[in-house]
Amino acid sequence: MKKTYKLIALDIDGTVLGRHYRVAPETKRVLAQAMARGVRVTLATGRGFPGALPVAREIGANAPLVTHDGAYVADPATGKVLFERRIELPVVRTAVELLQPLGLFIHLLYPDCVVTNQRFRNIRWSLLLPHNWPGLLSILQENRVYRPVYAADLSRYLQQHPVPVPKIYVSGRAEAIQEGRRRLEAALGEALRCTPAGAEALEVVCRGISKATGLRILAAYLGIGMDEILACGDSHNDLEMLSEVGMGVAMGNAPKDVKRIARFVTLSNLENGVAHAVRRFVLN
């Protein structure tokens, strides 16, 4: 008997976003068809909750969002928070002290703002090319809803604003990222989960937290099983999610080790891979 999936969970960057960092019309059509059949659609993303909202609205997501790599689950329609797990303040302070000397860009992703030592956040020079203007507009929109706060010295900022944070995102040179990960795992490995996001970025949440954690919370809230979820992702922070759901789909642009654990490998994000997977397993 064909399996029925009641929830579609989608990563954002490298998955549901295609050319110019936008959602393809075909992807929107296919997701709308799935929702018309009663299927719920959510985002399961490393982005902070405000940063996920523009994409959620664009695809018409009809379920609470799993954000901050599973550390923050909330309903965009009501603002109701279903789950939240923050990194304890002493751990955040130590992490910042370990990372700042390496010249890395550190982003403290709070539920309402991002505090960063990078003055121009989310800049990608390729977006300044004329054919990439839609992508630039998308980034500007994200920055409007996810208020950036610049702090050159994050240690001093945390002294003045002692608030724990759900997630830390780190970017910079590949060598510095590797050293930063080594330092964090050596000093704080029992408290933190560090996941590479390509060679030049690192995603940091509490140990034991992942997108799968957030999806378990959401599934219980919706009254469905994890085996009734189809999830699509393209990166290492998707590994647990793809392993635990009923149908874990790796994007065609995903690394080999992500593809290896998935039950199905779809087309790339530039080839409407999400639409292809949803047609095959939900609409077909």
| DSSP code per residue over 157-210 | HHHHS---BSEEEEES-HHHHHHHHHHHHHHHTTTEEEEESSTTEEEEEETT--
- What is the distance between the alpha carbons of residues 209 and 109, in angstroms, rounded to a whole number? 15
Per-residue pLDDT band for 3 (boundaries 50, 70, 90) equals confident
The pLDDT score that the predictor gives to residue 126 is 42
Output helix, strand, coil percentages for the chain, rounded to the nearest 5.
45, 20, 30
The pLDDT score that the predictor gives to residue 71 is 98
Inter-residue contact 114 to 48 (CB < 8 Å): yes
The yes-or-no verdict on residue 133 having pLDDT over 50 is no
Q: What length does the chain have?
A: 284
Both structure tokens of 186:
């050596």
The pLDDT score that the predictor gives to residue 136 is 44
Per-residue pLDDT band for 2 (boundaries 50, 70, 90) equals confident
Span 67-89, pLDDT tens digits: 999 999 999 999 999 999 999 99
The yes-or-no verdict on residue 173 having pLDDT over 70 is yes
The pLDDT score that the predictor gives to residue 141 is 53
The pLDDT score that the predictor gives to residue 130 is 47
The pLDDT score that the predictor gives to residue 125 is 42
Inter-residue contact 190 to 49 (CB < 8 Å): no
- What is the distance between the alpha carbons of residues 88 and 152, in angstroms, rounded to a whole number? 22
Inter-residue contact 12 to 31 (CB < 8 Å): no
